[in-house]
Chains A and B, each alone.
Chain A
Amino acid sequence: MLRYSHAATIALIAISALGSCGRKDDGGKDAGVAAPAAATPSPASTPAVATTPPPSSAAPDETKAQLGDETVGVKNGEQLISHYSLMTSVKFEELDENQRNEVLRLKQSLPLDNAAGKFNSAHVLAATKLATTFCNEFLRREQDARSNPQTTYTAKLPDLDWNSSKFPKEIARPVYAYFVEIFWGVDLANQPAKSAWEPELDALIDALAVPMPPGAGQEPQPIGLRGSALALCVTVASSFSSLEL
């Protein structure tokens, strides 16, 4: 329990930053306002991030201009619940009563509409907690699928040693590649290249592998594979590419 909290805390910090950046990039204006054509330059202290370059053809023909080419929207509360439910294959009605109540409680704090300009940190926090509920249930089923021969659930992740205290990159990468695929989508022009997001998520795994600071009389404990997988799921599910409409 404590270990999951640790993971969630790290994810929350990361995700809060993602949410802020999304808003900054929108110029703090309402949806419908042109977003910058290029990514905000990275501060010198942060790693350079490669993105998929846009096609090199000339500017689009004005007469063919598309509405919303440059508008950004975020999923509203109902859409987020549907999104997480569909992507994790965890139906709302299949959650236990506590989980359902948690989802309904969080729904009150999720965005009411799709306007990016109204999107705020409270929404990010609620979306993160919502993602945690669905990711947790998803991972529980994955774990169960490998240990319970009676289950009808078909595992979607590779066979993992769920009790392991380590989560090596070669094992973690297919796991977060799966999360990226379901929550972000693949081969999208506005998505960072795999060469950009993979090192970042590798770094997250490294950070999570650092043992927790010990409390009084406690041994330091690494977060372990289960906690890391949860943190990865929540991080990807709560990032802007997943929240974006």
Chain B
Amino acid sequence: MRVRELALAIATAATTLVSAPAHADETSQAYRLHRRLAGVNPSKTILETMKLAIREGRAVDAARIAIDNEEHSFFYNATLKKFFNPWLDEEGNNSIPLNDATATLIGMTRDDKSFQQIFATNVSYVGTGFDAAVAERIRPPEPGNNLHYLQMEREGVDLKKVLTPIKQTDALLDPTQSMQGETGVPAGILTSRGWASVYYQAGTNRAPVRFLLKNFLCQDIDAFHDTTVPDDEVRRDPDRAPGGESHVYNNKCKGCHAGMDPMSRAFAYLDFDDERRSMVYTRPTEATASEGVKCAEGSEVVLSPDSTFEDKLRCAVVKKYMNNKASYPEGYVVKNDQWKNFWTGGNNARVGWPAAKGQVIEGSGPKSLGLMFAQTKAFPRCMAKQVMAHVCLATDFESQIIKDKLDRLTEKFQAANFNMKSLFAETAVMCMGL
């Protein structure tokens, strides 16, 4: 009985601790900032430095102290990793192993790089400079496995210290040099092994389009449904009369495929090889084409000495673009990685695409497609929204107060050249308490 009373007594005391007050002093503000950014309490030294900054009206500086804490790297090792992980998992799981894509996103944040470049840069972050004892237990990065990152995670290495940028075209990561000299690639995380293993593995390469919309514009594919877009560039695999009902296609399937399929062509040379467990980029260059091109399995092109370079490009389109071609043989045949965005008009203009309303945007390869996404008005707002949910635990994005805050954060993120670290700092200050 006594124990129960005691438990109840302590519990009663604890109930007061879940109610944040309307007004917080600088100590409470510093604690809140540090906990929300690093996930742990600050040390006395850090606390005092943060309090001083807050007292002097430099709350964002206080947040930056929590972020780049000299005593630990929990912002990078825990907070950021959990934040980026859902982007690399179709289920949005935040507990996936560290990989080259998340390491690159963490590294770009640490280095104050523009997040508009995450789909366009020729960079991949790898671990270097480990302590001797740890170094023995960490393999170098390899295109055919994720061990380098898994082992870094298992050893609990300080990501703030060890992450080092190298080029994706480095022979270490791309031994066949397939992306060397290309303009459509490398494309930042879109040509990372981590991204490829999720979004290019099997399927039809439509997944990367859907998850670009979902994770980087914060709008899932259904929100883009538009049956007014012409469907003459829908591939051959979607059934035009599912169950014998053409209206199902016209009223439902077409609304997504007409926009998604032309964009998915950006990934026509990208695949994930299940046997080699690595990303594959198949586009031949003029030089490699002259040496002969191995057509993708199932290719409809038969090469001859008279074949043109265009034939050879078509020949290299990965097999999944020919899947179920008998479903509707009159459908669009993917010949290269030239993509189009037809979703710039009507309600879909809300995204704020980098083009006039209704104007079709075109490009080649994933790099230009990614840049188009990063240049929308929805991209910075989506980033700000996700950071706000992560740091401030905001959920009611219909509330006017939150909408106003989101507007301001979005503006600041853009003004700071899409600096993710600044976005975290500014956001944390918005919920540190008055």
Q: Which residues of A contact B (CB under 8 A)?
A: 10, 13-14, 16-18, 20-22, 24-26, 30-33, 35-40, 42-43, 46-47, 49, 51, 54-55, 57, 59-60, 62, 64-73, 75-79, 82-83, 86-87, 92-93, 112-116, 182-192, 196-197, 200-201, 203-204, 207, 210, 235, 239-241, 244-245
**How large, as a class, is the contact surface on chain B?**
35 or more
The answer to whether A17 and B395 touch (CB under 8 A), given A22-B15, A59-B22, A244-B18, is no
Assess whether A69 is in contact with B433, with CB atoms less than 8 Å apart.
Answer: yes
Assess whether A188 is in contact with B31, with CB atoms less than 8 Å apart.
Answer: yes
A129 to chain B, nearest CB (A): 17
Inter-chain CA distance A244–B40, complex, in Å, is 10
Assess whether A67 is in contact with B72, with CB atoms less than 8 Å apart.
Answer: no
CB of B276 closer than 8 Å to a CB of A = no
A residues within 8 A CB of B20? 35, 69-72, 190
Assess whether A190 is in contact with B23, with CB atoms less than 8 Å apart.
Answer: no
Assess whether A60 is in contact with B431, with CB atoms less than 8 Å apart.
Answer: no
Partner of B35, one of A54, A200, A201, A244: A244
Can you list 18 contacts pairing A with B, beta carbon distance less than 8 Å?
A10-B6, A13-B4, A14-B7, A17-B7, A35-B20, A49-B16, A65-B434, A66-B433, A67-B405, A68-B36, A71-B393, A76-B82, A115-B393, A116-B18, A197-B13, A204-B6, A235-B10, A245-B36
Assess whether A35 is in contact with B24, with CB atoms less than 8 Å apart.
Answer: no
Partner of B12, one of A49, A78, A186, A244: A49
A residues within 8 A CB of B40? 75, 79, 82-83, 86-87
CB of B156 closer than 8 Å to a CB of A = yes
A125 to chain B, nearest CB (A): 14
The answer to whether A54 and B21 touch (CB under 8 A), given A185-B31, A196-B13, A200-B10, is yes
Partner of B27, one of A66, A114, A188: A188
B272 to chain A, nearest CB (A): 26
Inter-chain CA distance A235–B10, complex, in Å, is 9
CB of B8 closer than 8 Å to a CB of A = yes
Chain B at the A interface: SS class: helix
Assess whether A21 is in contact with B14, with CB atoms less than 8 Å apart.
Answer: yes
Partner of B401, one of A24, A65, A203, A235: A65
Identify the interface centre among B9, B77, B94: most chain A CB within 10 Å of its CB: B9
In the complex, residue of chain B having the shortest beta-carbon distance to the beta carbon of A68: B431
The answer to whether A204 and B19 touch (CB under 8 A), given A69-B434, A86-B72, A185-B31, is no
In the complex, residue of chain A having the shortest beta-carbon distance to the beta carbon of B86: A113
Assess whether B393 is in contact with A68, with CB atoms less than 8 Å apart.
Answer: yes
Q: Which residues of B contact A (CB under 8 A)?
A: 2-25, 27-28, 31, 35-36, 38-41, 72, 74, 77-79, 81-82, 94-95, 155-156, 388, 390-396, 401-402, 405, 427, 430-434
In the complex, residue of chain A having the shortest beta-carbon distance to the beta carbon of B406: A67
Assess whether B21 is in contact with A189, with CB atoms less than 8 Å apart.
Answer: yes
Inter-chain CA distance A31–B40, complex, in Å, is 19
B residues within 8 A CB of A184? 17
Assess whether B3 is in contact with A25, with CB atoms less than 8 Å apart.
Answer: no
Assess whether A83 is in contact with B41, with CB atoms less than 8 Å apart.
Answer: yes
Inter-chain CA distance A69–B402, complex, in Å, is 12
B12 to chain A, nearest CB (A): 5
Inter-chain CA distance A200–B7, complex, in Å, is 9
The answer to whether A66 and B35 touch (CB under 8 A), given A189-B25, A191-B17, is no
Inter-chain CA distance A190–B40, complex, in Å, is 17
Inter-chain CA distance A213–B431, complex, in Å, is 49
Partner of B393, one of A57, A114, A185: A114
A66 to chain B, nearest CB (A): 5
Inter-chain CA distance A22–B431, complex, in Å, is 20
A residues within 8 A CB of B4? 13
B69 to chain A, nearest CB (A): 10
Assess whether B18 is in contact with A240, with CB atoms less than 8 Å apart.
Answer: yes
Identify the interface centre among A36, A187, A196: most chain B CB within 10 Å of its CB: A187
Inter-chain CA distance A97–B82, complex, in Å, is 26
Assess whether A245 is in contact with B35, with CB atoms less than 8 Å apart.
Answer: yes
B388 to chain A, nearest CB (A): 7
Assess whether A54 is in contact with B22, with CB atoms less than 8 Å apart.
Answer: yes
Assess whether B21 is in contact with A190, with CB atoms less than 8 Å apart.
Answer: yes
Inter-chain CA distance A112–B85, complex, in Å, is 12
B160 to chain A, nearest CB (A): 14
Inter-chain CA distance A72–B393, complex, in Å, is 8
Assess whether B22 is in contact with A35, with CB atoms less than 8 Å apart.
Answer: no
Instruction: With A18-B11, A25-B19, A75-B35 given, name 13 new contacts (CB 8 A).
Output: A17-B7, A18-B10, A22-B14, A36-B19, A49-B12, A49-B13, A55-B23, A68-B394, A69-B434, A182-B41, A185-B27, A244-B17, A245-B36
Assess whether B11 is in contact with A21, with CB atoms less than 8 Å apart.
Answer: yes
B residues within 8 A CB of A73? 36, 393
A residues within 8 A CB of B79? 79
A residues within 8 A CB of B94? 112-113
Partner of A60, one of B31, B396, B434: B434
The answer to whether A69 and B22 touch (CB under 8 A), given A30-B395, A79-B39, is yes
Partner of B41, one of A16, A51, A87, A189: A87
Inter-chain CA distance A45–B236, complex, in Å, is 73
Assess whether A78 is in contact with B39, with CB atoms less than 8 Å apart.
Answer: yes
B41 to chain A, nearest CB (A): 5
Assess whether A66 is in contact with B432, with CB atoms less than 8 Å apart.
Answer: yes
A118 to chain B, nearest CB (A): 11
B413 to chain A, nearest CB (A): 15
Assess whether B9 is in contact with A200, with CB atoms less than 8 Å apart.
Answer: yes
Assess whether A47 is in contact with B395, with CB atoms less than 8 Å apart.
Answer: no
Assess whether B392 is in contact with A67, with CB atoms less than 8 Å apart.
Answer: yes
Assess whether B433 is in contact with A240, with CB atoms less than 8 Å apart.
Answer: no
Partner of B430, one of A25, A66, A186, A207: A66
A residues within 8 A CB of B77? 78, 82
In the complex, residue of chain A having the shortest beta-carbon distance to the beta carbon of B154: A104
Inter-chain CA distance A113–B431, complex, in Å, is 18
A200 to chain B, nearest CB (A): 5
A residues within 8 A CB of B392? 67-68, 71
B residues within 8 A CB of A182? 41
